[in-house]
Amino acid sequence: MIYLETPRKFRPLIHQAKQVAAHVFRPISRKYDRAEHDYPVELDMLAAIMDGMNDGTMGEGAGAGKLSQERKHHDGNANSTNLSTVLGLQELCWGDVGLSLTLPRQGLGNAAIAAVANEEQRQRFAKKWAAMAITEPGCGSDSAAIRTTARKDGDHYIINGEKIYVTSGERADAVVVWASLDRNLGRAAIKSFVVEKGTPGMEVVRLEKKLGIKASDTAAITFTDCRVPASNLLGSADIKTDQGFAGVMQTFDNTRPVVAAMAVGVAKAALDRTHELLQKAGVECDYQTDFKHSSYIQTQLYRYEADWEAARLLTLKAAWMADNGKPNSMEASMAKAKAGRSANAITLGCVELLGSLGYSEHELLEKWARDSKILDIFEGTQQIQQLIIARRLLNKSSAELK
């Protein structure tokens, strides 16, 4: 049974994350929103702190770097890596989503490694900052349409293709690349490979200009006869057509609750600041008063807070299930769908409630509204999440329900 109180062992970690969000991220948030592609040098001092927050626990990391999907079955109630990760990221993204995404050695690719790597690979890549490369010019939400190929050549694989919108693609030490071993075999042939920075044939060809999360670099990367050791293939090299690409898809069971946590964090930032500014204007929320006796502004805030709480609870449930060895694919998609949509609605709604103050750069509210949009897009769009949920509920395959 899931307990909704914050586990005591995570409270120091959460407190540290709050301090980072309030005293490091918030003061430089606007600076790096205006200076897109500039590396936030202030984060260098945090790298050692974040490593310490991760290594000082029994595997319960502060960011995505230590995230894992351990299929352990037990009779107790485990609160471990996945839950601590989402709790920490909620606090960090209350400070700034883009800066949270560009923390050294806390990349989404690290979660991918933890999801499907063997123990030797986990140790070998433990100190690497790993980005994740899935999206291609002709392949967005449909991961099965990947055109990048990986051809076996002795003790190596030769990778050819192009990836776009790679978060931290320029700054990371390595990129987890999704590629097909045989495009004729469809989904089952898609595998993930760790390609380390500086590997011949791998080239960052441009950095994207974006609506939000500007502190985070987003790169386009080409792979031209890029030779990668066979030992860098994550998971099994066998192509099992009866299992589809369940192995690499397990990555999403890890990362979708992470993205949901980011959405919960930025939505909370907007709600908190809106309350503060409305209180200064003399608008107080009285939770004992019936809706019909409340103002429009008050009732909208109540609705937003209820929406936020639903997103938060779904996110905690998905993470808790992973910690307790329970298959969480549907719950991960539910959390991602709800939190992404809610964050969009809440941040934009708060801008609207505050009028010109919410729309101007005097406040961070307009920035949070821009930042929140990506959280409903990457790691699978809203529509894809709903499709996955429908397949699970109706017990349909991807071929049966498209």
Task: Please provide residue 281's backbone torsions phi and psi, each rounded to the nearest 5 degrees.
Answer: -90, 5
Rounded Cα gap, residues 112 and 65, in angstroms? 9
Which residues are marked as active site?
379
Q: What residue type is 51 in one-letter code?
A: D
Separation between Cα atoms, residue 394 and residue 383, nearest integer Å: 16
Written as one string, the DSSP assignment of 342-369 is HHHHHHHHHHHHHTHHHHSTTSSHHHHH
Rg of the chain in Å (alpha carbons) = 21
Only one residue has tokens 């809203």, namely: 382
β partners of residue 167:
218
Strand, coil or helix: what is 194?
A: strand
- Do 88 and 67 form a contact (C-beta atoms < 8 A)? no
Beta-bridge mates of residue 156: 153, 229
